[in-house]
Amino acid sequence: MVDVSKRYDKLSNVYGLLDAVPVISKGEYAWRRKLIEYIVPNNNEWVLEIGTGPGIMIKEAMTKYPDVCYAGIDISKKMIKIAKRNVPHAEFIVCDANNLPFKDNSISSIIYAFTLTTLPDYKGSLKESMRILKNEGKIGIMDGKKPSGKISCFIFFFIKYTAIVIGKTYFGRDVISYILNFKNLKTLFFKSFFMGMSYVMIVQIRK
C-alpha cells in the first residue's frame, strides 16, 4: 500500500496534464458530467469519491450541484493536498479504499473514476462501499475496459501494457462482470465510449 501512495504522490503534480489535450479532455469531461448527472442527488446528501486524486470529479459536480455534501478519499497525501486546494469546500481524507472511516448506511452515492483498475483489492473496496451505502444508494463507475473492435483492441493493447508496466495499474481488468454478479446491484445505466475502451456504469443497491 505504501508503494501505491508513494507512486501517486510522485504523479500528483503531473496528473492533470492530459486535461490540457482537448481531443481527450472534451470527450472525457462530457462522460464525467454524465456520471455526475446520474449519481449526484440535488440536495444535501453525502457523495463520496474513492481514489479522488486531485478532486476533478468533485469540482465538476460542485459546479452543477452546489448544495450536496462532498467527500473524497485517497491513499496519496499529495493528491489530497492538491484536491483540498482545488475544491476548498469539500471534505478530503487520506485513507485506504478498503477501510473507509464512514458508518454503515451513511452515504447516498459513491464514485469510482479510473480507480477500480488502480486498486490492488478492488473487490474488497466494493464490499466496503456496499457497507457504507444507504439502501437505494448508487455507485457510479468510469474506467477502462477491453473493447470489441479489431482496431480499438490493437490500440487498447498498447494503452493497457503502458498502464500496467509504467503505471503499475491493473488496467483492463474485468470489473464489469464482477459487478454484474451481485444480485443486490441493479444496473441503471451503462455506456461505453472512446471506441469501447472506456465506460460509464451506474448501479443501485437494494439492502
Return the residue of 36, 48, 71, 79 that touches ligand SAM, per CB under 6 A.
79
- Cβ proximity to ligand SAM: between 115 and 204 the closer is 115
- Cβ proximity to ligand SAM: between 146 and 151 the closer is 146
Helices (H) and strands (E) in the chain, counts: 7, 7
112 to 131: interface string for ligand SAM, x by CB under 6 A: -xxx--xx------------
End-to-end CA distance of the chain: 31
* Cβ 183 to ligand SAM shortest distance, Å: 26
Q: Does 57 bind ligand SAM (CB under 6 A)?
A: yes
Q: Are strands 107-113 and 91-94 parallel, antiparallel or unpaired?
A: unpaired
* Cβ 114 to ligand SAM shortest distance, Å: 4
Q: Does 96 bind ligand SAM (CB under 6 A)?
A: yes
- Cβ proximity to ligand SAM: between 109 and 118 the closer is 118
Question: Distance between CA 188 and CA 145 in Å, rounded?
Answer: 19
Contacts of 105 (CB under 8 A, 6+ apart): 132, 133, 134, 135, 207
- Could you count the other beta carbons within 10 Å of the beta carbon of residue 45? 16
* Cβ 135 to ligand SAM shortest distance, Å: 25
Q: Are 199 and 190 in contact (CB under 8 A)?
A: yes
Question: Distance between CA 48 and CA 71 in Å, rounded?
Answer: 5
* Cβ 182 to ligand SAM shortest distance, Å: 21
107: its cell numbers: 452515504
Q: Does 4 bind ligand SAM (CB under 6 A)?
A: yes
Query: By rule CB under 6 A, what count of residues binds ligand SAM?
Result: 19
- Cβ proximity to ligand SAM: between 51 and 147 the closer is 51
Helix 77-86 to helix 56-64 angle, to the nearest 10 degrees? Answer: 20
Contact positions toward ligand SAM, by CB under 6 A?
A: 4, 8, 51-53, 56-57, 73-76, 79, 96-97, 113-115, 118-119
